[in-house]
A and B are shown apart, each in its own frame.
Chain A
């Protein structure tokens, strides 16, 4: 019996045995407890003035927290920084990861295997370690980045990469791209190996050139993995706290303050849980919007 027939028959069996549906109940209950409750609680608290240092009952504010957010300059700066940080990282690391995967695709032998391992290695480095590594590499006094650029004559004086408002976000994005590119390299490499030989063979028979093969044969096969991968990375980078916190703590000024850093400061330095919840709610809605966009993209593709 073909595989799809087996699946169909097991689905029919499930339909005849409703108790099987109840088997998902424990999982649903656990998900409700660990995801549903915090989300509902966040939504609820976002309508209150609630400071953890103040033991009097929270005061209902209606939409005041959201009105405050609309006129909160730091919120808008952190939202803009989050979009740059996430967009810049995902876009550039996707391009580099895809390009490197295409370059190394047909290169065989131990040397190229070692190169592949080298390309993947940043993915194995914990994010906090990446942040500390780059923090020390970027230092104005004794940082290796300045040493190299000075030796090459690219800069005349050491640059304070993480302490200049105009370049600090870019410097963190570069560190993040270094850490994220291997993910796209792995994803694209595995997707490339899944392209049927027959399809590539037909392209060769049709005398398709290198660029034509990449754009018309390979990239369409890569579309779905890249959509899923970039969705995962958008969510991951939107929520990325460790790198920004370790490298700049959101500074200088608010130049690298992202939403997650701002929420952290509000919730765990100022203990303003009500306002932090309102910020968290907007953050959640933004991520939901992005997710819906990506899912529709995938859905449309499947329907096509």
Chain B
């Protein structure tokens, strides 16, 4: 080959190479999340995003940090202004409120039946609205009744025999109060916010009440629930007005005996008081909610979901990212288990290191005993109203002497309105 021909060939190769580089389009996904907004989860989330980008050089993730409490407002306003992200981290009623706008992309076209069957029973079903899968379960974070074995022992109770009914819980609380008047006997969130209704809902259901059903707010069962709360408040067992997160450091310091909280408690306690896993399991335990007058106890699902927006221009890339976050075992290990201290939705894991992380008494108790008791929530556009009204009633019950029947009647009138 002569020099001119070689020069032409080299130029062609260079052109093809260059044009190849230029035309390999990199997609940028906007990912709205609170994981990178919170100090405790930022590093883990950023590691997972970097790992995803390294595996998928054609996809760049633009993480948008938004505070948990602001997420619904931001997303609704951005949907309204035609500027939603591609993917967002959501939880609780926000998922259903967003779905009611029609702005979410249904996911059943991306997650086929075979794939969904790799998830635990009950992991995705609550996220079906009609035929549509409105969100994908990222992690599970149900609530259980945590107990402090030392405080139980100090009160003459058997720490290996935690209460199984609300009557037994009442007796245990009385014994703990008598033995140690300084501690908060039961940590339960009674603030006026949507999350607090999520946390209270299983207790309401344990008393057999359904305040959003016709006449349910002023039913005898609802009044029994409000009456029980007033009783344990008057006896000083609960500390009204504290958010659930504010009980956790106290629980770590033996200042709370029972705590109605999510699976992440173990991680918070260990990072607060430096306990090893063995020490933690010797000191604390978790069981399902004690059975109420109806004979059952319940739990709520406080996990996080991932949603894709209908306006996204990169839906395939968005789904790839969502699937990676929720089911890639490295991502599950780094973020779901080690950072967020929650439970992955997959039935099984292949990596022995990940399986070992999930083989703990706490995860076992949640997986086997607590998750099956999860009670569906009345999520939807009305939930925020229910939450404000019902939790205002709960607060009145625990902080005033207004007759419980009047409070229940007020809740009924407002929900009715």
**Chain A interface residues (CB < 8 Å from chain B):** 51-55, 73-74, 140-141, 160, 162-166, 168, 248-255, 265, 268-271
Q: How far is the CA of A255 from the CA of B393 in the complex (A)?
A: 11
Question: Contacts A51-B381, A141-B184; is A271 near B399 (CB within 8 Å)?
Answer: no
Taking the closest CB of chain B, its distance from the CB of A135, in whole angstroms, is 9
Closest to B182 in A: A141
Closest to B391 in A: A251
Taking the closest CB of chain A, its distance from the CB of B310, in whole angstroms, is 11
Q: How far is the CA of A255 from the CA of B402 in the complex (A)?
A: 13
A254 lies within 8 A of B392 (CB): yes
B241 lies within 8 A of A252 (CB): yes
Closest to B97 in A: A53
A253 lies within 8 A of B241 (CB): no
B193 lies within 8 A of A165 (CB): no
Closest to A248 in B: B241
Query: CB-CB < 8 A to A248: which residues of B?
Result: 241
A253 lies within 8 A of B396 (CB): yes
Closest to B70 in A: A268
A271 lies within 8 A of B76 (CB): yes
Q: How far is the CA of A185 from the CA of B399 in the complex (A)?
A: 36
Interface residues of A: mostly helix, strand, loop or mixed?
loop
Question: Contacts A248-B241, A252-B398; is A52 near B76 (CB within 8 Å)?
Answer: yes
Query: CB-CB < 8 A to A165: which residues of B?
Result: 395-396, 399-400, 402
Query: CB-CB < 8 A to A52: which residues of B?
Result: 76-77, 80, 101
Q: How far is the CA of A168 from the CA of B97 in the complex (A)?
A: 32
Query: CB-CB < 8 A to B241: which residues of A?
Result: 160, 162-163, 248, 251-252
B388 lies within 8 A of A253 (CB): no
Q: How far is the CA of A164 from the CA of B192 in the complex (A)?
A: 14
Query: CB-CB < 8 A to A162: which residues of B?
Result: 241
A269 lies within 8 A of B395 (CB): no
Closest to B77 in A: A52
Query: CB-CB < 8 A to A73: which residues of B?
Result: 410
B400 lies within 8 A of A252 (CB): yes
Q: How far is the CA of A54 from the CA of B80 in the complex (A)?
A: 10
Kindly state whether residue B100 has any CB partner on chain A within 8 Å: yes
Question: Contacts A141-B184, A251-B191; is A163 near B388 (CB within 8 Å)?
Answer: no
Kindly state whether residue B384 has any CB partner on chain A within 8 Å: yes
B101 lies within 8 A of A53 (CB): yes
Taking the closest CB of chain A, its distance from the CB of B93, in whole angstroms, is 10
Taking the closest CB of chain B, its distance from the CB of A173, in whole angstroms, is 17
Kindly state whether residue B239 has any CB partner on chain A within 8 Å: yes
Q: How far is the CA of A99 from the CA of B214 in the complex (A)?
A: 58
Contact with A along B91-119 (1 / 0, CB 8 A): 00000010011110000000000000000
Find B240's partner among A252, A265, A270 (CB 8 Å cutoff).
A252
